[in-house]
Amino acid sequence: MSPNTQTIPRDPLWLAHRYIENKDAVQFRHVTREEHRAATFVTDEYLPRDAQRLEIDRRQALAAAAPAAPVHFIFHSAFCCSTLLARAFDRDGVAMALKEPAILNDITGWRRRGASGRDVAEAMDGALALLARPFAAGEAVVIKPSNIVSGLIPMMMALRPDAKALLLHAPLPLFLTSVAKKGLDGRLWVRELFMGLRTDGLVQRLGFDDAQFFGQTDLQIAAAGWLAQQALFAELARALAPRVRTLDSESLLDAPEASVAALARLYGLGVNEAQVAEIVAAAFGRNSKSGEAFGRAEREAEYAGAAAAHRDELEKVGRWAEVTAERAGIPMTLPGALLG
């Protein structure tokens, strides 16, 4: 083993960034804590382009890695303040947050291309171990995967039996409004998400065949994807209680202090009332993507404008989704609430 192979897997400044499936190797990328915080997500699009990178055989990297810190998760179904919440839990001495690490997307893509369950589980176990290297001793690691990874949540929770998880979602009307206000990009994105969920076997429970899905509008496909994730979350909340709790974006924004305090307790983080107040003051009231000032009033005004512009379509798709959920036995309100 070269000196780099021995030292880099122990150094948290080297993010386990990509999984190279044809080599069974991990690409490490040099990322400082400040760069983590500045990046919307820890993906190539948002990280400095000139960062150092090095590939290391996965088994060699694991052999050299430091013992893993406690790992917890924020799983989400998009457009629900998950990035905001992840940023809130990136606190020196408490936890570091990883926002949509690309290595988990790589493993998901590999699985969808036909990799065996055993191989995927081995790669995922290694990825989680290599991601669990916080910047300071005593910190936990809070991972917010992309919802591309949702089909692998049961595997991830099985691989980390001590991990706790929040299942975060936006109420369906707000989710659909988010898609509509993003225009063509939003509509293309939900179709791409839907195709992945279909490969994962999660949309079939809705009771439509491919021909019927092909005939549905963009917002119907968006609603179908939301329902598929909602069904998965409901199953996880029932099967993995009390390790898993659920929360919707509006409850989070209505009661940020209570939400942060409850989630800190779920994760076993030593956070007192003063620290909760500090976390909320620092993280809430700003756009989670840009960092610019952006409060509840601005958010509601933005959504109201989009809702008014697309009211007819949103109302019709909302009613269709409610009927579809009832027929498929999918709860619109999830069990296992974090609050109350």
Q: Return the domain boundaries, the chain.
A: 67-94+139-328
For position 1, what pLDDT does the model report?
47
Beta strands in 71-148 (DSSP E): 71-76, 95-99, 140-144
For residue 290, what are its two tokens? 């840009």
Q: For every one of its 340 residues, what pLDDT tens digit does the chain have, with 9 covering 90 and above?
A: 466 889 999 999 999 999 999 999 999 999 999 999 999 999 999 999 998 999 999 999 999 998 999 999 999 999 999 999 999 999 999 999 999 999 999 999 999 999 999 999 999 999 999 999 999 999 999 999 999 999 999 999 999 999 999 999 999 999 999 999 999 999 999 999 999 999 999 999 999 999 999 999 999 999 999 999 999 999 999 999 999 999 999 999 999 999 999 999 999 998 999 999 999 999 887 665 555 655 677 778 888 888 999 999 999 999 999 999 999 999 999 999 999 8
For position 4, what pLDDT does the model report?
87
Q: What is the CATH number of domain 67-94+139-328?
A: 3.40.50
Can you tell me the distance from the alpha carbon of 29 to that of 13, in angstroms, rounded to the nearest whole number?
8
Q: pTM for this structure?
A: 0.95
Q: How far is CA 236 from CA 99, 201, 242, 339, in A?
A: 21, 16, 10, 17
How far apart, in Å, do the first and last CA atoms of the chain sit?
52
Cβ density class 227-255: b for 16+ within 10 Å, e for less? bbbbbbbbebbeebeebbbbbbbebbbeb
How long is the chain? 340
Can you tell me the distance from the alpha carbon of 214 to that of 131, in angstroms, rounded to the nearest whole number?
38
List phi, psi (to 5°) of 59: -65, -40
